[in-house]
Amino acid sequence: MTRCNSRWGFQAARTALSIVGSAKPAGSVLSLAVGLRFSASHFRISACPRLNLPTSSLASLLIVEDEAHTGEYLKQGLREAGYYAELARNGVDGLHEATEVEYDLVILDVMLPGIDGWSVLNSLKRKKRQLPVLFLTARDSVEDRVKGLELGADDYLVKPFSFSELLARIKTILRRGNQIQEATSLQVADLTLDLVRRRATRAGRRVDLTAKEFGLLELFIRRRGEVLPRTLIASLVWDINFDSDSNVIDVAIRRLRAKIDDGFDVKLLQTVRGMGYVLDEPEQ
């Protein structure tokens, strides 16, 4: 049976319930093939968002949101959708993080402790004029929307929001700006991936990979140190929903591991039982 990640689904449902408080569901649970979906009068989520991104287009997002449940929900959801996402809980930390770290997009609330979103955007535009910003806020007046766009925001989305709409807007902004500076090579330890010639080497030795194996290895290196569940791997590399009765992911991982780790003392690709797979250089 085709299914989405139940752990994330139930966690997202609990988060949504916490956000809406005493609001009663206005919708219902749909089929698992579509993904757990919870509808309420003030919030809607899709627990298994699908975003068809090639592995070479994984973008890094910074969320600046002071409401704990909303912030964690956004971070988890965006990571499940294939993005690298980090969370700052106030304007001061958000501004520091956005200026010190190279992000591809900032998702910014307006009403923040320390420094409000308007001021954060003003400072960002002075320091990093090309950094896209999407306002995600409960301030829904026309005047606020106009103000945000005139200050230089690339988009303005009002809470409550649909997660699928947020994903679509993020994708549009990244495609429109095309500000992601792609590296020509990626490296972990002595494993190097040449993105231009589509070649892999380990300790200077050529590693022959199929196109699918190359895409899988690129995903692991870009998300190094992060445990990737089978559901995410299936979605990003195979563009399919994960079938629990299929071993296609495990077989592909086993073949890739044999090519990049066999014959080397240091093993880079590891299995995390019950969770997924991770690629990283082991601590000495």
Q: Is residue 275 part of a domain?
A: yes
pLDDT > 70? residue 160 = yes
54 and 43, same domain (yes or no): no
Q: Is residue 164 part of a domain?
A: yes
Task: Identify the pLDDT of residue 139.
Answer: 94
Q: Is residue 28 part of a domain?
A: yes
What is the total count of domains within the chain? 3
CB atoms within 10 A of CB 91: 24
- CATH number where 215 lies: 1.10.10.10
Going by C-alpha positions, the residue among 15, 16, 90, 33 that lies closest to residue 244 is: 33
Q: Is residue 284 part of a domain?
A: no
99 and 114, same domain (yes or no): yes
32-77 pLDDT, tens digit each: 222 333 333 233 333 333 333 333 347 899 999 999 999 999 999 9
17 and 122, same domain (yes or no): no
- CATH number where 171 lies: 3.40.50.2300
229 and 191, same domain (yes or no): yes
Q: Is residue 202 part of a domain?
A: yes
Task: Identify the pLDDT of residue 14.
Answer: 34
Going by C-alpha positions, the residue among 51, 45, 115, 101 that lies closest to residue 80 is: 51
**Whole-structure pTM value:** 0.47
**How does DSSP assign the chain, residue by residue?**
-B---HHHHHHHHHHHHHHHTTPPBSS----TTT--EEEBSS-EEESS------GGG--EEEEE---HHHHHHHHHHHHHTT-EEEEE-SHHHHHHHHHHS--SEEEE-SS-SSS-HHHHHHHHHHH-TT--EEEEES---HHHHHHHHHTT-SEEEESS-BHHHHHHHHHHHHHHH------SEEEETTEEEETTTTEEEETTEEE---HHHHHHHHHHHHTTTSPBPHHHHIIIII-SPPBTT--HHHHHHHHHHHHHTTT-SS--EEEETTTEEEE-PPP-
Task: Identify the pLDDT of residue 241.
Answer: 63
Choosing from 129, 160, 177, the residue where a domain stops is 177
Q: Is residue 75 part of a domain?
A: yes
16 and 27, same domain (yes or no): yes
149 and 226, same domain (yes or no): no
145 and 212, same domain (yes or no): no
61 and 161, same domain (yes or no): yes
CB 95 within 8 A of CB 115: yes
Choosing from 143, 177, 211, the residue where a domain stops is 177
* Domain carrying residue 88: 49-177
193 and 146, same domain (yes or no): no
CB 235 within 8 A of CB 82: yes
78 and 161, same domain (yes or no): yes
Which has more confidence, 223 or 243? 223
What does the block give as tokens for 122?
A: 């003003």
160 and 137, same domain (yes or no): yes
pLDDT > 70? residue 93 = yes
Choosing from 177, 194, 228, the residue where a domain stops is 177
124 and 44, same domain (yes or no): no
